[in-house]
Structure 1
Amino acid sequence: MRVIKVKHAIEGGKVAFDLLKEKMAAGAKVLGLATGSTPLEFYKQIVASDLDFSDMVSVNLDEYVGLGVESDQSYAYFMKQHLFDAKPFKASYLPDGLASDLNASLDQYNQLLADNPVELQILGIGRNGHIGFNEPGSSFDGITRVVDLAPSTIEANSRFFASMEEVPKQAISMGIANIMAAKTILLMAYGEDKADAIQAMIEGPITEELPASILQNHPDAVIIVDEAAASKLA
């Protein structure tokens, strides 16, 4: 696990972008992408660049159950707004939040990941240590599935919705085994509210009660943290 400390999210986005360029120059063709506020500066760097993704594939970590691509709170909409409209990929895949047969859709997504091994997976981290929507207690052997969101995650996501009642209570998420299969993992964390999770992820025991702690076992995990998120590290 390689930890890179930066002053702020803007610098972190630049460092992440440089790593992406390095991986693409080495031949990477499949990117695992994340949503939320954490990767926004990274996506801004990509959009402002001359990088060409027309020969690349993207797969996203998760999507809310019950939201379709037209919903402005769906992750599909987020990705179009912040990346895909400006930088289209050869193919971009997200879980289907409106699938009529969720079990079949999950099987298809797991097969998709097997057919398109992720070479660089982007991650954020929740205040409770979740990665993707793998909440505390998630099996390290888990694959793509429907998950019930923890109250703390629902609360954190409520800032994007008009009311707490509108926040989806379930999501489709890659499992931890899917995430760990990526050749390189790049996790970014900014802000004091992530300090406890970062400290536990890097310095604590490997436990399913802190899902991100499994990254200690990954052969190529890069962690970008600002000064606030790194404030409790030894």
Structure 2
Amino acid sequence: MEVTIVDDPDAAGRAVAATISATVRRSRSCRLGLATGSTPLPAYRVLVRELGGTGTLDHVEAFLLDEYVGLSPDDPASYRATIRRELTDALGLPPESVHGPDTQFRSDGRDGPGVGLLEACERYERLLGIGVDLQLLGIGRNGHLGFNEPGAPFDSTTHVVALSDTTRSDNARFFPSPADVPTHAITQGLGTIRRAQHLVLAATGAAKAPAIAAALEGPLDESCPASALRLHRRVTVVLDRDAASALS
């Protein structure tokens, strides 16, 4: 595991973008796993400046880490719409090169995820296949990766998850009100994530410091999903000084 500590979020974004750009440039066929949230945005802005409009990305496909259940792909709060808005449209990737789970299936008519969602998980797991070339990750305050909440098995595959109160509270800023935050999502499992050739975790801000310390220096335990990173053969962690402040 390689840990890089930089001064601020913009510097973290530049470091992450450099790693992604190197992967894109050296690969004839590149599968990128993309994360959403505020942490990756500085990296995405750098990538758009460097690679947008170059016409050299025909070999790139993008895969979402997770998606809310019940939101259409065109909903501004959906992760597919967010990734297109913040990155892939500006890079010139066509919509058909941006993949994610279909989270609108609701075949049983009851509250909660239906059978169709389980089928959607299986289809997305098959689409991901042996894994992506590079998977970008953020980390939640409770140590979650993607939407893998504490207690998620380290060998889990793509699945439906009920979002914790902490996660829904953290994401409420992206919705009109807290009540509008979806209660469920589909996420790549920790086992799915670990099939990537290269994992890149980015974290900024003091609020992430306890989770980073638990992930990198705490017990290797399912109570901290991000500790599963330590089982992977190639991990790059990029932190600003605030996010690294609880490390020994």
* TM-score of the two chains, using structure 1 as the length reference: 0.96
Task: State the AA in 1 paired with 2:87.
Answer: L
Counterpart of 1:108 (choices 123, 127, 145) is 123
Task: State the AA in 2 paired with 1:4.
Answer: T
Counterparts of 1:188-227 in structure 2, within 5 Å, are 188-227=202-241
Question: What is the aligned-residue identity percentage?
Answer: 39
Counterpart of 1:85 (choices 70, 83, 89) is 89
1:98 matched to 2:104? The reply is yes
SS of residue in 2 equivalent to 1:85? helix
Ranges in structure 2 where 5+ consecutive residues have no aligned partner: 107-115
1:14 matched to 2:29? The reply is no
1:31 matched to 2:35? The reply is no
Counterparts of 1:56-95 in structure 2, within 5 Å, are 56-89=60-93, 91-95=97-101
CA root-mean-square deviation: 1.3
CA–CA distance in structure 2, aligned partners of residues 40 and 200 of structure 1: 24
Instruction: Tell me how far 1:99 sits from its aligned partner.
Output: 2.4
Instruction: Tell me how far 1:25 sits from its aligned partner.
Output: 3.2
Instruction: Tell me how far 1:87 sits from its aligned partner.
Output: 1.2
Q: Provide, for residues 104-161 of structure 1, a one-character-per-residue CA deviation record: whole Å limited to 9, x for no partner.
A: 211110000116x301000000000000000000011110011000110011011111
CA–CA distance in structure 1, aligned partners of residues 92 and 226 of structure 2: 30
1:54 matched to 2:58? The reply is yes
8 Å CA contact 1:201, 1:213 repeated in 2 = yes
Instruction: Tell me how far 1:88 sits from its aligned partner.
Output: 3.0
8 Å CA contact 1:55, 1:89 repeated in 2 = no
Instruction: Tell me how far 1:30 sits from its aligned partner.
Output: 0.6
Instruction: Tell me how far 1:102 sits from its aligned partner.
Output: 1.3
Q: Provide, for residues 171-211 of structure 1, a one-character-per-residue CA deviation record: whole Å limited to 9, x for no partner.
A: 00000001001010000000000000000111111100000
Instruction: Tell me how far 1:42 sits from its aligned partner.
Output: 0.7
Instruction: Tell me how far 1:84 sits from its aligned partner.
Output: 1.7
Instruction: Tell me how far 1:26 sits from its aligned partner.
Output: 2.8
